[in-house]
Amino acid sequence: MGTGRGYKCPKCGFEFVANFGIGMMFPTVYAETVQKAKDGELGEDIQNFFNEHKDGKIDAKYVVLCCEDCGHLTTDLDLTMYIPKEKKPEKSEHSIWSYLEEYYTKFAEYPHKCEKCGGRMKILRENDDMDLLCPECGTPLEESGMYIMWD
């Protein structure tokens, strides 16, 4: 299931839609994302992770990313890397999103970089405190009342 919420700056009118989760396309998105990671298209960190941890997994759900330097906001895949605990799942890899933390331990967060300034992006997940600041003027964003749910 995926969800989204709209935000708007009451001062300058900047708008942002925060998308979270992933819908029924998860198996396809997960497989494509893992292949890109293994091929080096997502950087050396995640490629090395898969080279060193053949049974490693990643979190391929959408999260909000906020630049710690310039405040730029965007939505992208989480890509946090996980290694298995001793207990192995009996379910398929494609339903990993529903039991990831039960069978896997967080290994490392993916080092997201800001497309605007190159700064480090902080991951904000759906259940996190969403006190977002406008990247244009620094005013706290307000929920616009827009709420989205998809498969």
Give the pLDDT confidence score for residue 36 in this predicted structure: 97
- What are 76-127's pLDDT values in tens digits? 999 999 998 876 666 555 455 556 777 889 999 999 999 999 999 999 988 7
**DSSP-assigned beta bridge partners for residue 63:** 76
Specify the length of the chain in residues.
Answer: 151
Give the pLDDT confidence score for residue 99 in this predicted structure: 67
Give the pLDDT confidence score for residue 96 in this predicted structure: 53
Burial 125-144 (b: 16+ CB within 10 A, else e): ebeeebebebbeeeeebeee
Give the pLDDT confidence score for residue 95 in this predicted structure: 54
Predicted confidence band at 51 (pLDDT cuts at 50, 70, 90)?
Answer: very high
Give the pLDDT confidence score for residue 92 in this predicted structure: 57
Q: What share of the chain is helix, strand, coil (3-state, %, to 5)?
A: 20, 35, 45
The overall longest dimension of the chain from CA atoms, in Å, is 52
C-alpha–C-alpha distance, residues 30 and 127, integer Å: 22
Give the pLDDT confidence score for residue 89 in this predicted structure: 62
Structure tokens at 13: 């009118």
- What are 64-90's pLDDT values in tens digits? 999 999 999 999 999 999 998 876 666
- On whether the CB atoms of residues 111 and 45 are closer than 8 A, the answer is yes
